[in-house]
Amino acid sequence: MSGISWEKNVDVQPYNTFNVPSTARWLVRVQNISNLYELVNSTQFHNKRSLILGGGSNILFANAQYDGIVLKNEIQGIKIQSEDDQHVTLRVGGGVEWVSLVDYCVQNDLGGIENLSLIPGTVGAAPVQNIGAYGAELSDVLVAVEVFDLDTGQARTMPKDECEPKYRGSIFKDTLKSVMICAVTIRVVKARFYSVNTGYGLIRDVLLELGISTPTIRSVSEAICLLRKRKIPDPKSIGNAGSFFKNVVCDDSIRRSIESVDANTPFYRNPDGTYVIPAAWLIEKCGWKGRQFDNVGVSSRHALVLVNLGRAEGREIVWLAELIMRDVQAQLGLLLTPEVNIIR
């Protein structure tokens, strides 16, 4: 008896946080690695497009139909792989919700990912983007990922360096796009050996507001959750995928050029000598924050968040994103790059 089920003409609107309508020609739910071996050996899989889908929080279906196979990662499990006096190494299924993993670590006083609280999506999607927020990234705790290559039909474990993590990207986003991340291994720190990361100014502000002078893993997580709720609309209420664009990385000559336009331009210097300009500042500087067009708009809370105002189609959100990109380039000479994966 077959272990996988081929669901035909499936509405994927419930599976993307933009809440845009689209239909997948086929959908297969992957609950273990055996499902993947069966999948690649089936004639129905050959010569068809395929898309790996986690929580749908960093994806935009641009068309009314995806003419291929959507592979829904539903591999579960959080297990302690090893432990010493200071650290715990966890092996986590790719289909586990990221917020569930953060909650597990917070509840067990394990530090390292509390600054990534309330980020939507699944654990399997996290290495693709090398998710990051408030001065932390997945790569800070990443040990390895277990992948299944849909092209070769082989499974293997890739240590962190092979994943090539970088700012909002990795080898999985750039060149190795045909693999499903089945499990992720992270190394976190026991609370008594851990120093929380409150270097990001907004975290300190919220902790002060909450009357917390000695922050803990739990209180930092709570502060991050409060910050995110204030800045990013709940996708259950208004469709969005969080930050739509990446921050802009530039050299010193471009930094000085932008500063000549506005001396108050915020910059952050990277260790390699390049500079980061917040994309939200650029978009707001060009007058886009809070603007609305029929079914789509830019959030009034955060200029990086494009929103579905009710019944938007994916193509309408793409249209808005392209308008913003062209205008920022025309006004400031900088090209924005989408962080969200646009599926056409």
Q: Which residue in the list 146, 222, 316, 339 is annotated as catalytic?
A: 339
Work out the number of other CB atoms within 10 angstroms of the CB of residue 310: 11
Structure tokens at 228: 């995110």
User: Which residue among 117, 139, 168, 221 is the active-site one?
Assistant: 168
Query: CA 300, CA 137: separation in Å to the nearest integer?
Result: 26
pLDDT at 2: 54
- Identify which of 303, 299, 246, 315 has the alpha carbon closest to the alpha carbon of residue 58: 246
What's the CATH code, domain 78-231? 3.30.465.10
- Say whether 74 is catalytic: no
What's the start-to-end Cα distance of the chain, in Å? 34
Q: What is the pLDDT of residue 145?
A: 98
CATH architecture designation of domain 6-73: 2-Layer Sandwich (3.30)
Give the domain ranges of the chain: 6-73, 78-231, 239-343
Q: What strands, in cross-sheet order, belong to the sheet with 268-269?
A: 248-250, 275-277, 268-269
pLDDT at 1: 35
Q: Which residue has the tokens 């291929």?
A: 68
Which of 50, 243, 313, 316 does the annotation list as catalytic? 243
Rounded CA separation 126/132 (Å): 9
By percentage, how much of the chain surpasses pLDDT 90? 87
Cβ(188)–Cβ(92) below 8 Å: no
Q: How confident is the model at residue 66 (pLDDT cuts 50, 70, 90)?
A: very high
339 is catalytic: yes
Q: What angle do CA 127, 129, 134 make, to 5 degrees?
A: 100
Chain centroid to Cα 300, Å, comes to: 21
Report, at the CATH architecture level, how domain 239-343 is classified: Alpha-Beta Complex (3.90)
Cβ atoms within 10 Å of 34's Cβ, excluding its own = 11
pLDDT in tens, 183-211: 999 999 999 999 999 988 899 999 999 99
Average pLDDT, the chain: 95
**Residue 114 a catalytic site member:** no
Q: Which two tokens stand for residue 184?
A: 């992720």
pTM for the model stands at: 0.89
Say whether 239-343 and 6-73 share the same fold.
no
Q: How many other CB atoms are there within 10 angstroms of residue 311's CB atom? A: 13
| Type of residue found at 245 | F
If DSSP codes are grouped into helix, strand and coil, which group holds residue 31?
A: coil
Sheet holding 23-30, edge to edge: 6-11, 23-30, 65-73, 50-53
Alpha helices by DSSP H, listed for the chain, are 33-40, 98-107, 126-129, 160-163, 171-174, 201-209, 217-231, 252-261, 279-285, 314-332
Alpha carbon distance 127, 174 (integer Å): 12
Span 158-182, pLDDT tens digits: 999 999 999 889 999 989 989 999 9
Give 244-291 pLDDT, tens digit per residue: 999 999 899 988 888 888 888 898 888 888 999 999 999 999 999 999
Q: Contacts for 294-299 with beta carbons within 8 Å, 24 or more apart?
A: 296/320, 298/324, 299/232, 299/233, 299/240
